[in-house]
Amino acid sequence: MPNGGDAGRDWQAVIGRALAFICLAQADLRDEGLAEQGQFLEGLGLSRKEAASLLGTTANSLTELLRQSRKKKGGKSGSDKTKGKKKAKK
């Protein structure tokens, strides 16, 4: 390879990110939301920061989108609806 100033580039990381993007496309997730894409990329082993970079967003934004998607799917809401209710006497 010619020495064109990219001697410090980590080619394994570049190849890994390219393969992750190809996997994302092959899984038909490119039309899904960023939260689903981010989860998929993290499942492949990318860090949240790397996944966000690949998706064109920030790690903080991706974290918030993942939190919101879990909340929509009925994740833990932090409050119990039965809390504070007393049983009726017979």
Sole residue written with tokens 């038909």: 28
Q: What is the mean pLDDT of residues 10-30?
A: 88
pLDDT tens for each residue of 30-81: 888 899 999 999 998 889 999 999 899 999 999 999 999 888 877 555 555 5
pLDDT at 27 over 60: yes
Cα 10 to Cα 14: distance, rounded to the nearest angstrom: 7
- Sketch the domain layout of the chain as residue ranges: 35-72
pLDDT computed for residue 32 by the predictor: 85
Instruction: Give the contacts of 60 (CB within 8 A, at least 6 positions apart).
Output: none
